[in-house]
């Protein structure tokens, strides 16, 4: 799962004007992967390239007890929600931020081979849709398409910025699916992943500056209030 992780971010912003800015929600959606890639750079968590380990993804995520355990993801969700609350003093915004962080583990559960844990133990979970591309690919595209459509329906503003974001999402997903397989899970590979997350987050922040929730629109509203 890659761009499908951003579907909860778009959905959260569609549901309520009190959700954090879209860029903040994009950080929430991939927060545990931000942490995993950084941890992998310094050897705290580990992955390696094993060609054919799944039909769609050659990565063996063989040691990630902190970021990709359910308890660990929950800890990241609570910490991020607390940070959002401290900065916004908005309990609704904090709650949605935490929900989006937690959604990451649940979506990964669908596609990963059994490499996710509950609390970092030996027993591992994963439904393995990366071995079923005819199911996984339409599912991922469907999730992002539905959430994007809902976000557009529930917000108002110029159409070009969200379309640029959507193009970037689809382009990066196409590279992920159809580009050459990585040869090693080295620093360059990890840095490229972090750059992709950063690019999408920056575009999401840009979109949030151009659109506002329809519930905020009134005769006196001339520019987005958030």
Tell me what pLDDT residue 43 has: 94
| Local mean pLDDT, 10-residue blocks, the chain (226 residues) | 95 95 97 97 96 95 96 98 96 97 97 96 95 97 97 95 97 95 93 96 96 70 47
Within a domain: residue 154?
A: yes
Tell me what pLDDT residue 215 has: 82
Within a domain: residue 58?
A: yes
Q: Which domain holds residue 182?
A: 3-216
Within a domain: residue 202?
A: yes
Within a domain: residue 82?
A: yes
Residue count of the chain: 226
Q: What is the pTM of this model?
A: 0.92
- Please give the Cα distance from 216 to 27 (Å, whole number): 24
Q: Give how far Cα 117 sits from Cα of 21, 45, 102, 200, Å.
A: 30, 13, 14, 28
Within a domain: residue 225?
A: no
- Nearest one of 13, 12, 17 to 217, comparing CA atoms: 17
Tell me what pLDDT residue 222 has: 47
Within a domain: residue 226?
A: no
Q: How many distinct structural domains can be found in the chain? A: 1
Tell me what pLDDT residue 138 has: 97
Tell me what pLDDT residue 218 has: 52
Tell me what pLDDT residue 217 has: 57
Tell me what pLDDT residue 216 has: 75
Tell me what pLDDT residue 220 has: 41
Tell me what pLDDT residue 201 has: 97
Within a domain: residue 222?
A: no
Within a domain: residue 221?
A: no
């Amino acid at each position: 799962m890659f761009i499908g992780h951003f579907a909860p971010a778009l959905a959260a912003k569609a549901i309520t004007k009190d959700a954090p800015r879209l860029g903040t929600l994009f950080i929430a959606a991939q927060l545990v992967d931000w942490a995993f890639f950084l941890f992998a750079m310094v050897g705290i968590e580990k992955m390696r390239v094993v060609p054919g380990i799944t039909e769609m993804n050659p990565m063996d995520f063989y040691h990630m007890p902190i970021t990709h355990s359910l308890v660990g993801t929950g800890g990241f969700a609570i910490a991020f929600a607390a940070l959002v609350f401290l900065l916004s003093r908005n309990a609704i915004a904090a709650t949605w931020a935490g929900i989006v962080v937690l959604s990451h583990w649940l979506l990964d559960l669908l596609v990963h081979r059994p490499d996710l844990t509950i609390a970092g133990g030996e027993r591992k979970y994963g439904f393995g849709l990366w071995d079923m591309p005819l199911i996984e690919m339409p599912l991922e595209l469907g999730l992002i398409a539905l959430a994007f459509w809902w976000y557009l329906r529930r917000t108002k503003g110029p159409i070009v910025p969200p379309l640029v974001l959507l193009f970037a999402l689809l382009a990066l997903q196409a590279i992920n699916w159809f580009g050459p397989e990585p040869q090693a899970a080295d620093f360059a590979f990890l840095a490229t992943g972090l750059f992709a997350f950063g690019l999408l987050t920056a575009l999401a922040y840009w979109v949030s500056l151009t659109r506002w929730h329809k519930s905020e629109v009134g005769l006196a509203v001339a520019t987005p209030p958030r």
